[in-house]
């Protein structure tokens, strides 16, 4: 008899045997087929494997035990988990085989959660939200791929409350970026007559907590406590901005999420970007919703390492029964006004920029498609972006002298060279023209009673602008500004929440300075601000495209004018970036069959430090470097 027990926190499936009953061939095949998580102990008589791997290999296990004439004995906890998984698999087969008319009939039969007995849900839903909620309630588990600002959080609370009233769940764990916590807390006040008790996870969960919010980074060190809380009741597990775990078991966040998935009675994912880099990104997401089913659901062409772009259509068709999507056009928003503002560099800045470009153009003679160049050329890109915006960023002064230390040693320019001398004296002679344009625009907006959101990838720019725009009392958010829970009890500490509060509620605060890596997700500013200005952008389309939706989202009154301005230095890398980001938006639009994504697309990466994303970005950078090779002076 081969015994299997669900044990531990986080749980694993522990196999044990009496040597006379289970042959060695079967025993030693277990870790090979199911994946050993803990190794063996007690003379190789016990072996622990991950729950998710056990469920994925249950068919092999049954066939192997039959072949070797070995009986299986499960403890009640594992038997319940196995039976639930089998029922889910059967329900999945039924849903995938259902005709559109059968699916539509099931959706129409879903009762209104607001009138259900004991329901606390009171939120009035838009037509597209009600449609999405009804379809998701016909599924055991589901995915909401609606655009930012479509009300995915409100719909998710409707799913949870429906499942709670039906007795299927009694608690909710939400894994989300810290910036999204506020939305879950605020929406609960609008969705429920008596809001559930919500706790931001800080290492323990107080008794009586119904909803726990935890960020992806904290899963690793607290997986045991969270798994225990899921198993103590009937849990609903939601991943918000779920594209962050798209790497699956090749990444830590994905591994943690996949380990928690089988422990929940219901699973849902929320993301506007189900496939930021390509069809393969669906694998981890589908495996979270339906553990171990991705390779059965998705077409084979999507599972290869380099799937063709047209594979996306096959993927969308394959998983259409399992997800909902509200498009940007369905939100009924007025189109934003997008405007590129050309900026002419002043003479000293132009000399610096051209000398820098001339220096780099001949430095890289490797294959232009060599992936190893991406990181190094990412440094070149950031250097050029600094020069095109604010050359002061190229160097920092050390101590009280005028020595210059360049930030990228592999690209450093020798002190005393013509280029270093230009940089050293830059701030004595010029104000960056982008700063001048920006200050003028902010003053004009402030005079008209309009607040301004300013985006920059460089912390030095944000700090310089904080001083330059001091009369407008700017708020500031970047990586070093902590969230409230990270700041702890230190009195007077400036936090992201306090800065957002100032911008939203203090009439004297007319400007918010923000870094896309710190604030591109989860923050809603559409009730406060209708003007955004980009000081510069990188090739990372995700940060830019997600940041657009901070001020252009559901809830904007009809007739509201949303203005987006891009400051671009003429004959600089800014122009190459603009062309590449625009092309990526078009490709995302084609992938998701949503023409509106051409101008209002979604994030594409959970690695927000990545500057150059692919070899096409690399080619665009080389094209820019070579464009004036013979016309610029040598450094």
Most confident of 128-142, 403-417, 579-593: 128-142
- Closest to 474 in 3D by CA, of 448, 440, 444, 502: 502
39: left (phi over 0), alpha (psi -120 to 50) or beta: left
Q: What is the pLDDT of residues 471-519, one digit of tens each?
A: 999 999 998 998 887 776 666 789 999 999 999 999 999 999 999 888 8
Residue 39 in tokens: 């190794």
Is residue 48 exposed (0-12), middle (13-18) or buried (19+ Cβ within 10 Å)?
A: buried
Quick check: 264 and 236 in contact, CB under 8 A?
Answer: yes
Torsion, Cα of 277, 151, 175, 162 (10° steps):
-130
pTM confidence score: 0.80
pLDDT band for position 276 (cuts 50, 70, 90): low
pLDDT value, residue 594: 58
What are the pLDDT digits (tens) for 52-110? 888 888 889 999 999 999 999 999 999 999 999 999 999 999 999 999 999 999 999 99
Residue of 228, 428, 430 lying closest to 345 (CA atoms):
430
Question: Could you tell me if 348 and 428 are in contact, meaning their C-beta atoms sit under 8 angstroms apart?
Answer: no
- Whole-number Å distance between alpha carbons of 49 and 46: 10
Predicted confidence at residue 522, as pLDDT, reads 74
Q: Which residues of 486-519 are buried (b: 16+ CB within 10 A; e: fewer)?
A: ebeeeeeeebbbebbebbbeeeebbbbbbbbbbb
Q: Which of 452, 461, 392, 402 is nearest to 427 (CA)?
A: 392
Find where tokens 């719909």 sit.
155
């Amino acid at each position: 008899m081969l015994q299997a027990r669900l044990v531990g926190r986080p749980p694993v499936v522990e196999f044990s045997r009496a040597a006379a009953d289970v042959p060695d061939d079967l025993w030693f095949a277990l870790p090979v087929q199911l994946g050993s998580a803990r190794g063996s102990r007690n003379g190789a008589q016990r072996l622990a494997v991950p729950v998710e791997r056990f469920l994925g290999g249950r068919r092999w296990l049954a066939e192997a035990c039959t072949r070797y004439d070995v009986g299986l004995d499960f403890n009640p906890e594992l038997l319940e988990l196995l039976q639930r998984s089998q029922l889910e698999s059967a329900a999945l087969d039924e849903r995938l085989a259902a005709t559109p008319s059968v699916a539509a009939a099931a959706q129409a039969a879903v009762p209104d959660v607001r009138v259900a007995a004991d329901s606390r849900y009171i939120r009035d839903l838009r037509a597209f939200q009600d449609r999405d909620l009804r379809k998701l309630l016909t599924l055991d588990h589901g995915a909401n791929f609606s655009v930012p600002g479509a009300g995915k959080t409100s719909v998710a609370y409707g799913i949870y409350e429906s499942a709670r009233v039906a007795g299927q769940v009694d608690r909710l764990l939400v894994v989300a970026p810290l910036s999204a916590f506020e939305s879950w807390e605020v929406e609960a006040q609008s969705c429920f007559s008596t809001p559930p008790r919500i706790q931001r996870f800080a290492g323990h969960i107080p008794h009586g907590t119904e909803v726990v919010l935890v960020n992806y980074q904290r899963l690793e060190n607290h997986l045991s406590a969270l798994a225990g809380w899921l198993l103590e009741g009937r849990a609903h597990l939601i991943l918000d901005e779920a594209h962050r775990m798209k790497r699956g078991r090749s990444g830590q966040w994905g591994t943690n999420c996949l380990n928690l998935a089988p422990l929940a009675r219901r699973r849902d994912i929320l993301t506007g970007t189900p496939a930021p880099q390509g069809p393969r990104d669906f694998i981890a997401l589908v495996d979270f919703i339906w553990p171990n089913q991705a390779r059965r659901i998705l077409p084979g062409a999507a599972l290869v390492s380099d799937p063709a772009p047209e594979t996306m259509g096959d993927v969308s068709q394959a998983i259409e029964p399992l997800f909902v999507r509200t498009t940007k056009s369905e939100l009924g928003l007025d189109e934003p006004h997008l405007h590129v503002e050309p900026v002419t560099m002043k003479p000293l800045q132009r000399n610096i920029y051209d000398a820098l470009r001339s220096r780099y153009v001949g430095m890289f003679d490797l294959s232009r498609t060599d992936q190893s160049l991406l990181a190094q050329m990412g440094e070149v890109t950031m250097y050029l972006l600094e020069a095109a915006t604010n050359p002061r960023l190229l160097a920092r002064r050390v101590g009280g002298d005028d020595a210059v230390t360049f930030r990228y040693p592999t690209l450093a320019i020798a002190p005393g060279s013509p280029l270093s001398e230009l940089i050293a004296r830059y701030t004595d002679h010029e104000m960056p023209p982008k700063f001048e344009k920006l200050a003028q625009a902010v003053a004009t907006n402030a005079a008209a009673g309009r607040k301004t959101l300013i985006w920059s990838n460089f912390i030095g720019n944000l700090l310089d602008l904080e001083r330059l725009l001091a009369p407008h009392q700017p708020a500031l958010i970047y990586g070093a500004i902590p969230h409230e829970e990270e700041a702890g009890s230190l009195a007077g500490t400036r936090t992201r929440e306090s800065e957002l509060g100032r911008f939203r509620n203090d009439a004297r605060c007319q400007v918010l300075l923000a870094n896309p890596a710190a604030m591109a997700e989860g923050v809603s500013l559409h009730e406060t601000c209708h003007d955004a200005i980009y000081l510069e952008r990188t090739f990372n389309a995700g940060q830019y495209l997600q940041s657009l939706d901070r001020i252009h989202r559901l809830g904007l009154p009809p007739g509201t004018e949303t203005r987006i301005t891009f400051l671009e230095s003429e004959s600089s890398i800014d122009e190459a970036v603009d062309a590449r980001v625009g092309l990526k938006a078009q490709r995302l639009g084609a992938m998701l069959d949503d023409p509106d994504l051409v101008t209002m697309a979604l994030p594409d990466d959970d690695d927000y430090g990545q500057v150059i994303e692919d070899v096409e970005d690399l080619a665009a950078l080389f094209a820019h470097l070579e464009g004036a090779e013979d016309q610029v002076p040598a450094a």
